[in-house]
């Protein structure tokens, strides 16, 4: 499928959906930065906010390559850190980089990659806390399933323009301050 075959409105909604998934990973990275007194949290937040603005049509001129380059310096290196929070933080970084790369034209493959990444982070967390039983029945996976269903429903509402649709998606994830692994930044 060529770039010209993709419906622009659908591409922006897919980008908003992708941004929602990355939004749910942001607290994992933010807490990691706070615990290690790192400065990447603001750069991550700024880049993610720019994607939301772009997806909703509030701005058209954002250099996402530059955003990605700025953020690269704040991606933790696994040989420098050895504690549980590294993996969820790295997954959040991977999600943001994928999202920034998707800003040209977000496609279903990007969405599927982010859903898989978020699920892998949850899976890793559950293994790390020695959760027993069927992981897919765990409340974190159930919560993600509900979120994905709510995102699908938000996108399918008829008669919504790009801005209101993306804003609805953003409110959906921002009203719930928990990350995909249950981390909350509330009360900072």
pLDDT in tens, 110-149: 888 999 999 999 999 998 888 887 878 889 999 999 999 9
Enter the CATH code of domain 7-174. Answer: 1.20.1590.10
The beta-strand segments (E) located in 15-76 are: none
Following CA atoms 121, 75, 178, 59 in sequence, which dihedral angle do they give, to the nearest 10 degrees? -120
Digit-coded pLDDT (tens) for 145-188: 999 998 888 777 776 788 888 998 999 898 877 899 999 987 65
pLDDT at 91: 96
Confidence category of residue 105, pLDDT binned at 50, 70, 90 = low
Q: What CA–CA distances, in Å, run from 114 to 4, 38, 64, 93, 188? A: 23, 25, 18, 11, 27
pLDDT at 155: 75
Digit-coded pLDDT (tens) for 27-60: 999 999 999 988 999 999 999 999 999 999 888 7
Kindly report the pTM of this predicted structure. 0.90
């Amino acid at each position: 499928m060529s770039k010209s075959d993709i419906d622009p409105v659908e591409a922006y909604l897919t980008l908003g959906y992708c941004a929602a998934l990355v939004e749910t990973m942001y607290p994992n990275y933010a807490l990691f930065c706070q615990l290690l007194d790192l400065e990447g949290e603001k750069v991550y937040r700024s880049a993610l906010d720019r994607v939301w603005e772009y997806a909703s049509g509030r701005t058209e001129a954002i250099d996402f390559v530059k955003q990605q380059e700025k953020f690269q310096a704040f991606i933790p290196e696994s040989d420098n850190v050895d504690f549980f929070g590294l993996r969820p933080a790295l997954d959040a970084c991977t999600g943001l980089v994928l999202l920034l790369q998707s800003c040209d034209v977000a496609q279903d493959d990007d969405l599927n990659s982010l859903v898989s990444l978020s699920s892998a982070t949850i899976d890793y967390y559950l293994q790390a806390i020695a959760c027993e039983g069927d992981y897919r029945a765990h409340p974190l996976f159930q919560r993600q399933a509900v979120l994905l269903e709510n995102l699908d429903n938000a996108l399918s509402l008829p008669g919504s323009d790009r801005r209101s649709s993306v804003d609805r998606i953003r409110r959906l994830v921002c009203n719930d301050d928990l990350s995909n692994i249950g981390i909350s930044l509330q009360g900072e």
